[in-house]
Structure 1
Amino acid sequence: MPDFNVTAIGPPQRASDDWLSTAVVDADGHRFTVLGARSETAKLRLAAEQPILAALTKPHYATGLPFQLAKAAGTARTAENDPLVVFPELPGQPLVLKLLNQDAARSLGAAIGAIHELDQTIVSDLNLPIEDAPTIRTRLLAEVDEAARTSRVPSSLLNRWEQALEDVSLWQFAPCVIHGDISDETLHMAGDELAAVTGWFGLAVGDPAADLAWLFASAPEDCLDALEESYAVSRSQQPDAHIVDRALLLSELALSRWLLHGVRNDDPQVIADAEDMLTTLARQVGDDRPLGRTSPVIETDWSDSWQDTSEDAATNGSDER
């Protein structure tokens, strides 16, 4: 980047197999975040996100969002030719679930509702995925069938999921714009307010429950009513009656997807991790427990299992900013 003179480098700094990021300060005292993609999957996602952010930060869309977005200030390359993107530093810090209270939950619900109210033309104009309810249901049925063929999923869970997927009443909903990767890493809080949202490479038209799934699986139970009520108020139309049921179903299927990721990549550690979580889930929900409002069904760190590890997600985009 020409005329970009870095005078200091410091925290927050993070490194993983996929990403490398650091805060920097320029000669004028402005703070930026430099994000580098290290793996091929990360490079695809970083490239996919740039046109999405460029569109979202246009006034037509940005004025309806009650939080800040990253907007690239420039790009560069590392000595190894890996891509780097420089963003003005966003406010807030990644969400810490154990600190979530009802006020913060209301802020999250309103923000997710605002995302779901975005004009769907942003997705179609960018040629991003668009799925209706029958397509989503069919895709999930195929995932459950594939998981069943591994013989590593408790039969009680397979029955539970198949019953939910075959219940037509659960799948009567209006698709909307979804973020696609809501997690503690993509939600940045400043006190009890959501200050910024990152990780937009999963933008699509799909099931609104997808953006609520991680929170309903992980957030403190005493925050869920505030989250749901704030979300409903922020929508122009009342959410469908089974959005929470589907959110919980999708949160459970994230464990199945983690298992499939391990099987496809012949990774025994991932397989063992997924099997352990599936066993715990089966024990907690029981054979006949209906899908619906419950306490968090898995008391563990969802950060790995939650990630969409499908081939489509890696190719199309589904962060780290």
Structure 2
Amino acid sequence: MDLTQGWDSVATLVDGRWIERRPRRPEVAELLMMETTVMPWLAPQLPMRVPVPWVVDADPLVVRHEAVPGGPVGELTAAHGRRIGAFLRALHRADVAEAVERGLPDRAAEEREALVERLRDVVVPMVADRAPAHALLDRVGELPADTVVHGDLGPEHLLAEGGELTGVIDFSDAHVGDRALDLSWILYGTPRPFADAVADEYGVSEQERDRALVWHRLGPWHEVLYGLDTDDPSSVESGLEGVAARLTLGQEARTAIRRSPEPAARVTSR
């Protein structure tokens, strides 16, 4: 049974117990292989269940892991936030040198430079207000890369059962990067009780809040690139709408995270 077709891979439930994943593009195979060497080492260090995959077939590549129990998380609560705060604190304490030795990508600085250059060339000309767009890309180029990060933390990657979080899935974008990347959706795209609980449990600093806002503002730019790369005009259009909307976010977004209610996040896929 197919569970989801994400940007990078297709996931299938096998015998009600196993998740099999196949890359949608050749370059994704390397990321799935990375999970098979990094996750057996990383998983015991984390306070929640995560996938621990192995290779089933090499050509074409198929990896398999035991299904993490649970389904879509639904409404995010303060209790969920405390668990995620503890989870991220443990993840971000993982030894970087050993993670790299086991295959975790450590090319964030070079890849970020190439990404910024491409965004300037391809996306900025499509944006009406170009000065803040260039300023945002300048900030992205200055961000650190010194921590083991999940790299794609969002509601679709959190699982819950009986109202409690059971695990975090999909580590194919894990790399050595900026810890604030993992905080961006949490601080600026989730209900306030959840966001505040994560921040309190994790111990988020003001500098991390600032960097998380940069990453949050950058998010829709990736949707534009995805639409261009896959000839999907609707993704380009919705991505550009998000780029324009988030470019206006500034200090008010930071101060609002502790004073304004926000509708609960909704999850539509695993």
Structures share fold, TM-score greater than 0.5: yes
Q: Which runs of 5+ in 1 are unaligned?
A: 1-9, 26-31, 233-238, 305-318
Structure 2 distance, partners of 1:176, 1:182, is 15
Q: Give the AA of the match of 1:155.
A: R
Structure 1 distance, partners of 2:30, 2:107, is 21
1:247 equivalent to 2:212? Answer yes
Residue equivalent to 1:154 = 129
Structure 1 residues 6-85: aligned runs within 5 Å: 13-16=2-5, 18-25=9-16, 32-37=17-22, 39-41=24-26, 42-57=28-43, 62=44, 64-72=45-53, 75-76=56-57, 82-85=60-63
2:181 pairs with one of 180, 196, 210: 210
Q: Give the AA of the match of 2:97.
A: T
Structure 1 distance, partners of 2:107, 2:57, is 35
Residue equivalent to 2:89 = 113
Cα displacement (A) at 1:161:
1.7
Q: Give the AA of the match of 1:123.
A: A
Indicate the SS of the match to 1:22: strand
Structure 2 distance, partners of 1:241, 1:130, is 26
Structure 1 distance, partners of 2:229, 2:19, is 32
Cα displacement (A) at 1:159:
5.6
Indicate the SS of the match to 1:185: helix
Structure 2 distance, partners of 1:254, 1:145, is 15
Indicate the SS of the match to 2:172: helix
Relative to structure 1, is the Cα distance of residues 267 and 115 closer, same or farther in structure 2, using a 3 angstrom cutoff?
Answer: same
Structure 2 distance, partners of 1:177, 1:146, is 29
Structure 2 distance, partners of 1:203, 1:274, is 23
Cα displacement (A) at 1:73:
6.8
Cα displacement (A) at 1:93:
2.1
Q: TM-score, structure 1 length as denominator?
A: 0.67
Q: Give the AA of the match of 1:106.
A: R
Structure 1 residues 47-196: aligned runs within 5 Å: 47-57=33-43, 62=44, 64-72=45-53, 75-76=56-57, 82-96=60-74, 99-130=75-106, 138=113, 141-142=116-117, 144-147=119-122, 149-152=124-127, 154-155=129-130, 157-158=132-133, 161=136, 164=139, 171=143, 175-191=146-162, 193-196=164-167
Structure 1 residue runs of 4 or more that deviate by more than 6 Å after TM superposition: 134-137, 301-304
The size of the alignment, in residue pairs, is: 264
Larger Rg: 1
Q: Which runs of 5+ in 2 are unaligned?
A: none
Q: TM-score, structure 2 length as denominator?
A: 0.78
Cα displacement (A) at 1:75:
1.8
Q: Percent identity?
A: 20
CA offset digits 1:84-110 (Å, max 9, x no partner):
3332232222332xx111111111111
2:193 pairs with one of 180, 201, 222: 222
Contact 2:148 2:174 in 1 (8 A): yes
1:231 pairs with one of 202, 216, 228: 202
- Of the structure 1 ranges 113-122 and 65-74, higher mean CA displacement relative to structure 2 is found in 65-74
Relative to structure 1, is the Cα distance of residues 76 and 124 closer, same or farther in structure 2, using a 3 angstrom cutoff?
Answer: closer
Cα displacement (A) at 1:270:
2.0
